[in-house]
Structures are given as C-alpha cells and as structure tokens.
Amino acid sequence: MLVFFRERLVFLAVPKTGTTAYQRALAGRADMVITDPPELKHAPLYRYNRFFRPMFQKVCNAEMETLAVMREPISWLGSWYRYRRRPFMKGQPNATHGVSFDEFVRAYLETPTPGFANVGSQARFLEPRPNGTAITHLFRYEEPHRLDAFLEERLGVTLALTRENVSPVMELALSPELARACRRHCAPEFELYESISAGGLNSTAGAPSRSTG
C-alpha cells in the first residue's frame, strides 16, 4: 500500500497485479509505504475502510481517494498458478507442481477451496463497503499506460518501472468448457473487470462476489 497524503490518494495493492513495481518506483515519493506484513501491504478495501480510513478521517480530517489495479480474472489465476510453481515452492502445501492449470482452476471453483488454489478474489478485495467507501480509480492491469498517465499527472512524476516479483514464464490455456464454467462461477469478477471504463474509472460500484478466503 502506498499513501500520498498531499494528493489525498491511497494505492491499494491487489496481489498479482504488478503493484510491487509501482511500490519500488514510487516509494521515495510516497508519504507512507506499507511493505509488511502482507495482511497490511495487501490490505483489501474492507480492511482499509476499517483501519486506515478512520485514521485519516479522524486524525487528519482528510478523506482519501483510493486507487487499485485489476487483472483479467483468468490471467490473474494463471499468475497465481505460475507463482506457486516457483522452484522453492516445491514440496510446500500451496505449491502447484504436478498440477495442471485446468486442475488448479477446477479446484479454485470448488467449495471449500483446496489450499493450493485458495488465492482469494479480486472482486472481494475491491468490494464497496456499506458506508459508501469504494475504489475511486480502478485500472486494468492490461492497460498500464492509462495507470501510468494517471499517476504521472496526479503525482507530478515520471515513472521508471522495473519488473518485480515475476512468476515463471509459461503458456497457459484453459479448456473451453472450464473457461465457461469459470466465467459462470466467478461472474462478479468478470462483471467488475468489464465495467472498468477506458479512462480507468470504475463506472459501476462493483457487485457482490464469492468469498474464497
């Protein structure tokens, strides 16, 4: 999580959406940089609303805007799958060695979700709160130029990004039947992703999502 207090902007770090590169590039420009523990570094909107928003509001009398990045849902699952196939993960309970991508996604759709496929939900991470707190600026991972332009204008910086925390490279493709099942079962994820406008704004406040932990 990055906080730019003077610009009244909080950059929430959705896992597997490339935010580590922005954290490294903007750490010197931010007023607060939360890198650890992961529960705070990757604090979802509901955790931000519960703990961070009241601090800014009550102590600083400031209402902050929020920014986040969302990845195409199947691509996001693919990134998690590849991330958990890194060499040092071999033998660990959450590793995906010896598991095909179809098997990983099929497990993700199960209830309860097996540990190796329990990676959460972007829609749940970004879900608006009953008090009206919502993501102000939502960008697609696949359109980094829009996010970069927004940040450069808002913060008055020139970004120089490097690749960080990269998963192993491999070609992944779901069977057509499983891809359709994923779209049905995870409809809120796809609806939210498709609602992101060309300008990078979330035009629909977001729909309720399945909770995957």
User: Domains plus CATH for the chain?
Assistant: 2-195 (3.40.50)
Tell me the backbone φ, ψ of residue 136, rounded to 5 degrees: -80, -40
Residue whose structure tokens are 């060695």: 97
pLDDT digits (tens, 9 = 90+) for 92-137: 999 999 999 999 999 999 999 999 999 999 999 999 999 999 999 9
Residues 6+ apart with CB under 8 A from 31: 3, 4, 5, 6
Whole-number pLDDT of residue 170: 82
Instruction: Give me the sign of the Cα torsion angle 145, 148, 152, 154.
Output: positive
- Which DSSP symbol is given to 6? T
pTM attached to this predicted model = 0.89
Q: Which residues pair with 67 in a beta bridge?
A: 11, 137
Looking at the chain, how many residues does it have?
213
Give the pLDDT confidence of 44-64 residue by residue, as tens digits: 999 999 999 999 999 999 999
The 10 Å Cβ neighbour count of residue 27 is: 11
Task: For residue 160, count CB atoms less than 10 angstroms from its CB and return exposed for 0-12, middle for 13-18, buried for 19 or more.
Answer: exposed
